[in-house]
Amino acid sequence: MEIKVDDQKENKLLHRKEIQLTVEYSGNRTPSREELKEEACKKLSLHPELTEIIYIDQLFGSNSCNALIHSYLKKEAMEALSPSRQKAAKEAKQKAEPAKEEAKK
């Protein structure tokens, strides 16, 4: 897997780096989020626990894809801003609401 950095921005307000990548790979399948995260962290010297793959965009008919990675500087910033963590918190809140209503009755 060959990773090329297309654009890298440091977002100081959100305490993260936003990195656009082009990934060339061999084989018939697009690399998984975990595989891409592992390789990108090795190549770019990022901390795996503070790095998140935002999207992988497969280019039709080729063995390459584009990806966006957010690498946070602080764990607190990641927990507050990470889309997957926000989604999980929202789902947990929705599951808790019916339980609260039943407890009130």
Q: Which domains does the chain carry?
A: 2-77 (3.30.70.330)
Average pLDDT of 67-95?
77
Pairing of strands 51-58, 64-72: antiparallel
pLDDT digits over 14-30, tens only? 899 999 999 999 888 88
Average pLDDT of 36-44?
92
Q: Which of 2-6, 34-38, 60-64, 96-100 has the lowest mean pLDDT?
A: 96-100
Q: Classify each residue of 57-89 as buried b or exposed e, where b means 16 or more C-beta atoms within 10 Å of its C-beta.
A: eeeeeeeebebbbbbbbeeebbeebbeeeeeee
pLDDT at 27: 81
Assigned token pair, 28: 């018939």
pTM, full prediction: 0.73
